Structure 1
Amino acid sequence: MATNRLVGRFAGYLESRKNITGSVCGLLGLVLTFTGVAGPYWPVVVLGLYGAGALIAPPERPALPDFPDPSAQLDEIRADFTKLGDYLADVDLPPATATRLRVLTDLLDALLDPGWVAEILAQDPEAVHTVSRTVRQDIPEAVHAFVRTRWWHRMTPGQDPPEQHLERQLAVLTEEAHHLATTLRETEARRQESHTRYLEDRQG
């Protein structure tokens, strides 16, 4: 393992800017040697020029992290949205609450549907984060808290019905999703207006 690591580092140094720049300077030293300029001290001249070249070489730039592109992120969110749908299908909700939840999930489904809408969504990292948080965190936590609280409510009635809190949470999430859709629509409208101005300006 250690040997492989050393071999990898050596191979990396051979391809590094420091080695390449130093080698070029070292070749210059050999040229000076063959022309008689370096004299009997040519090894010192060659090594010195190599070392100087290695020192002045620009530092290596580490490779950028290989993060998934927005389209790949949306594919992962779609997969999790399908899992969420399977979970919600097994939860017994009051009719009014189920209707409110369906409005929210239908809106998310429209935003995540592959096509031009999803392409616009993918261009906005904050929007992708909002949808991801809603699918992976907000809805599951809200519904799961309702399921747990409903059991306690049946054991100790008299408190606010748990569906009231769930409906309020779903109302907030639905408003947030509608705001996101409006923002994406306005972005597309501005893009259309910019193209109109471009075409008009092009004609003088």
Structure 2
Amino acid sequence: MATSRALAYLESRKNLTGSAGGLLGLVLTFTGVAGPYWPLVVAGLYGAGALIAPPDRPPLPEFPTPSAQLEAVGADFGKLETYLAEVGLPASTQTRLTELTDLLTALLDPGWAAELLAQDPEGVHTLSRIVRQDLPEAVDSFVRTRWWTRLTPGQEPPERHLERQLAALGEEAQRLAAALRDTEAMRQESHTRYLEERGN
């Protein structure tokens, strides 16, 4: 521990700046300016350099990039698909669920869509929330409510709420896909303008 601190100090800005000051003191000594007080001059210049040097900044913590986050969401989506296949949802919800999972698969599929999405941290966050929180919670709450509904018949069927939740999630995913499409369309239009203006 003490050795690592010593090595860290040797490489620090304070030591490097102080050493530069100390070298200046030695130059003054050899030119005869420092006189008999040269040890004090060298030590003083070293100390002054060490004091005025800016402190070393600790390195910033490394966080996963949007691309790495997207890969992690894709892995979690694979787990979610396995869970959805085992739950046994009613047929009335299958169409909406299939539409949603197909869209999520397309967004998470490695390729141009994922590359574009990786440049949009908000989009990655939206997709992550759907996969890791909203969709699992919607299905799990349906499964739990369905069990209680069997004990107390006559209540509103829980699949209606699930259908509405899947519809809302589908719309959110569609908005995300539309935003990505608009980004690509704008890039295409910009390239068209560039080529046309270059020709003039």
Structure 2-normalised TM-score? 0.96
Partner of 1:60: 56
Between the aligned partners of 2:121 and 2:55, the Cα distance in structure 1 is: 31
The question of 1:43 aligning with 2:39 is answered: yes
Alpha-carbon displacement from aligned partner over 1:67-101 (angstroms, at most 9, x marks no partner): 11222111111110000001000111111202211
Amino acid paired to 1:57? A
Amino acid paired to 2:106? A
5+ residue gaps, structure 1, are none
2:76 aligns with one of 53, 75, 80: 80
Q: Secondary structure at the match of 1:83?
A: helix
Partner of 2:156: 160
Shift of 1:187: 0.9
1:169 aligns with one of 155, 165, 171: 165
Alpha-carbon displacement from aligned partner over 1:158-183 (angstroms, at most 9, x marks no partner): 11100001111111100000000000
5+ residue gaps, structure 2, are none
Q: Secondary structure at the match of 2:155?
A: coil
Partner of 1:191: 187
The question of 1:111 aligning with 2:111 is answered: no
Between the aligned partners of 1:196 and 1:49, the Cα distance in structure 2 is: 63
The root-mean-square deviation of aligned C-alpha atoms, in Å, is: 1.1
Between the aligned partners of 1:202 and 1:52, the Cα distance in structure 2 is: 58
The question of 1:9 aligning with 2:5 is answered: yes
2:145 aligns with one of 149, 155, 172: 149
Structure 1 stretch displaced more, 24-33 or 61-70: 61-70
Structure 1-normalised TM-score? 0.94
Between the aligned partners of 1:170 and 1:150, the Cα distance in structure 2 is: 16
Count how many residue pairs are aligned between Structure 1 and Structure 2.
200
Between the aligned partners of 1:107 and 1:126, the Cα distance in structure 2 is: 17
Between the aligned partners of 1:18 and 1:202, the Cα distance in structure 2 is: 53
Between the aligned partners of 2:196 and 2:95, the Cα distance in structure 1 is: 47
Shift of 1:151: 0.4
Amino acid paired to 1:22? G
Dislocated runs of 4+, deviation >4 Å: none
Amino acid paired to 2:70? L
Structure 1 stretch displaced more, 194-203 or 148-157: 194-203
Shift of 1:61: 2.6
